[in-house]
Amino acid sequence: MSKSLLRKTLLALAVLSLTLSGCGGKTPAATQAPIDAAAPAATEAPKPTEVPAAPAAGDEKVVTISFITGDPASLNPLYMSTWGEECAAELFLLPLWNIDDDGKYHPELVTEVPTLANGGVSADGLTITLKLRPEAVWSDGAPVTAGDVIFTYNMIMDSANTVYSQYPYDTYVESLTAVDEKTVEIKLSGVYADWATSFFTGISRVLPKHILEPVYQKDGTLDNAAWNRLPDVVNGPYLVTEFEPGSHMIFVANDKYWRGRPKLDKVFFRLMEDRAAQLAALGSGQSDIGSYILGPETPDVEKYGMELQTSPNGYIQTLFFNIDPATAHPAMTDPNVRRALALAIDRQLIIDKIFYGIYQIPATYWHDTPYDNPDLKPYSFDPEQAKKLLDDAGWKDANGDGVREKNGQDLSLRYVYIGGEEVNDTMVVTFQQMLADVGVKIEILPNTQEVLWASYGDNGTLALGGYDITHWVDGMWYFPSPDTSYFLGSQIPTADAPDGLNWFGICNEQLDKLFADQAVEVDPQKRIDMFHQIGQIMYDETYILPMRNDQDIWAISPRLANVKFSGVDPLMFIYEWDVK
C-alpha cells in the first residue's frame, strides 16, 4: 500500500470505528428485526461514565472540547496519523493555509496562496513560490522563516526520522530552495494537481528549526524529541501547557499569534474513554463541545439544549460490489442486476429510522463537492423496476421459493461486513429484508476488521474477493482533493501486487484514462469536468451504491459564540470563538 493511501485508509478505519464498526464477528440475533416505517430503531441509553472535571474557569474564558479518538501518539505533525491529532495541531501549529467548507483558502503562514494569476505557480506548473507572512513569529518571538519550511521538508525526507509518511514529497518534490528569508521555491518533478491540499497544510505543518535542529544534530533523529510530547515553542493561536494521557490537554492563548491574541483564554481538550462518557459530559455541562456526534445521539444532545453543526468532510458510507468474474456471483457482473439492487434499497428510510434523518443520499462518490456531477440524482427506491430489471436479466423465481435463479443457480449473495455493533447489524438485516422483497437472498457474514481489511498477501477476505456486497465509510483521502486510486484497474490486487486497493474488480479503460488525466490537470474547471465524466460512468455502471454522507457533526453549548467548523481543517476558526 502506498504511503498516501495508507494515511487515508487508516483515517477511514478510525472514522469507521467511531461510526458503525464493531470489534467482533457477532452474528445478528435471529430475533433481530429490520427497521420499519413506524418508529425509529430502538437504541440503548448509554451507561453513565465517570467524567474528569475541567479546570475552573474563574474570570477566564474557557471552552472544553471532548474527543473520543484516543491519546495523541505525538504532537509533532511529522508523526501524526489521526483526525484527533490534527485537531489538536490546529491550535498550536500553523499550516501555509487552511480551507473552509466553501473551498475558500485562508492564508496563514503565507501572504497569499500561489496561483498562475499571481505568479506563484509557473506556466508549466512545475515551480511553486511561497511568500511567508512577515508578521508570523514563533511563541518565543523568533520569526517564521524559509529555513523552517526547508528544515521541515528535510526532516520528513530523512530516513533517520520514522515519520508517518513522506508522501507526497517523495513522489512529486524535486527540491526546496530558500530564495530569501521569507520566500521558498518548490520545484516539482512532474505536474501535481493536488499540491495545494498536500504541501505543508492539513496534517502537514511547519516545524521550528531553531528549536528542533539542535535536537536532530545531537541525537541524529527527531523521534525522541521532548518537543514531540509537549511543544514549548509554537506559532498557532494557542500554547500547549499540559498533556495528561488518558485525561486532557490544556491550551492557553498565544499573545504572539500573528492575528493577535485569540478571544478565548484557555481551551481544554477532554480525552474521552467512549461515546457514553462524551454524552455524560455534554449532559452535565462539563463539555461545551462534543465531536463526531452520531444520529442516535442527536435526541439526547438536543435535549441538553445544544446546537448541532455539520461540516462536509468528503466521506460517505458506500455499498461496494464485487464485480470480478473470477470471484463474484455471476449476477454481480451484470450492471442491470447491480442497478436492481440499488433500486430495491430504501436508503431514505434507513437514514430516517436508523440515523434520525441527519444524513443525505449521495449520487456519486464526490457528494457535496464541485466534483459531484450535478446532472445525476440518487437512484430512486423503486422495487417494481428492480424486479423488472432482474426479470429482463434472466433471474426469475421459477420454483416459487422466493429466491430468483438462473441456469440452476440461486441469486444468493454474500454480504460481508464488520459485525457486532447494533446499528450496523440492524442496517444489514434491513438490507436483507429489502432485497428479499425482490427475490434476492442475502447471506449475512459478519467478521472482524482485522480479517476483512487484511491485504491480498495476508488473505484478506475483501482483497481476495470473498464477498459480493460489503460496506464501509470512506471517501476523499485528501479532501478537498477528489483524487483516489480505489477504482483503477492497476489497483486490483494480485500475487505480484498484493497491496492493491481495488477490491471490487473494477476494470474500465475509459475510467483509468480519466483518473490519469485529472491527476495532472492544473485547470480547475477542466478537472471538475473530468470528474463529472468519472461520476457518470460509475453511475451508469452502478459500480458502487453511495448510501449516505458522513459529515462531521458537532454539538455546541449555547453559551458559546462565533463557533464555526470546517470539514477540511476542523478547528481553523478557533481563534475567533468566544463566550457569550
Q: Which three cell numbers stand for residue 118?
A: 499571481
Asked if residue 130 has pLDDT above 50, the reply is: yes
Rounded Cα gap, residues 371 and 480, in angstroms: 10
pLDDT for residue 4 is more than 60 = no
Give the separation between CA 41 and CA 71, rounded to whole angstroms. 32
Q: Are 503 and 536 in contact (CB under 8 A)?
A: no
Segments making up each domain of the chain, as ranges:
3-27+314-550, 62-295+553-579
What pTM value is reported for the model? 0.82
Binning pLDDT at 50, 70 and 90, where does residue 58 land? low
Closest listed residue to residue 95, CA positions, set 139, 132, 140? 132
More confident residue, 178 or 202: 178
Q: In this model, does residue 294 exceed pLDDT 70?
A: yes
With 90 as the cut, is the pLDDT of residue 21 above it? no
Rg of the Cα atoms in the chain? 25
3-state secondary structure labels for all residues of 101-147: CCCCEEECCECCCCCCCCCCECCCCCEEEEEECCCCECCCCCECCHH
Torsion 247-253-257-262 (CA) sign? positive
pLDDT for 83 equals: 84
Using CA atoms of 347, 351, 352, 358 in order, give the dihedral in degrees to the nearest 10: -140
Residue with C-alpha cell 440475533?
29
Q: Do domains 3-27+314-550 and 62-295+553-579 have the same CATH topology?
A: no
Q: Is the pLDDT of residue 2 over 80?
A: no
CATH 3.10.105.10 matches 3-27+314-550: yes
Provide the 3-class DSSP secondary structure of residue 280.
Answer: helix
Q: Which stretch of 20-24, 86-90, 527-531 has the lowest confidence by average pLDDT? A: 20-24
Q: Is the pLDDT of residue 223 over 70?
A: yes
Annotation: CATH topology of 62-295+553-579: D-Maltodextrin-Binding Protein; domain 2 (3.40.190)
408 Cβ contact list (under 8 Å, min separation 6): none
* Tens of pLDDT, residues 455-484: 999 999 999 999 999 999 988 878 899 999
d(CA 155, CA 139): 21
Residue 544 near residue 318, CB atoms below 8 Å: yes
CA atoms within 13 A on the CB side of 118: 10
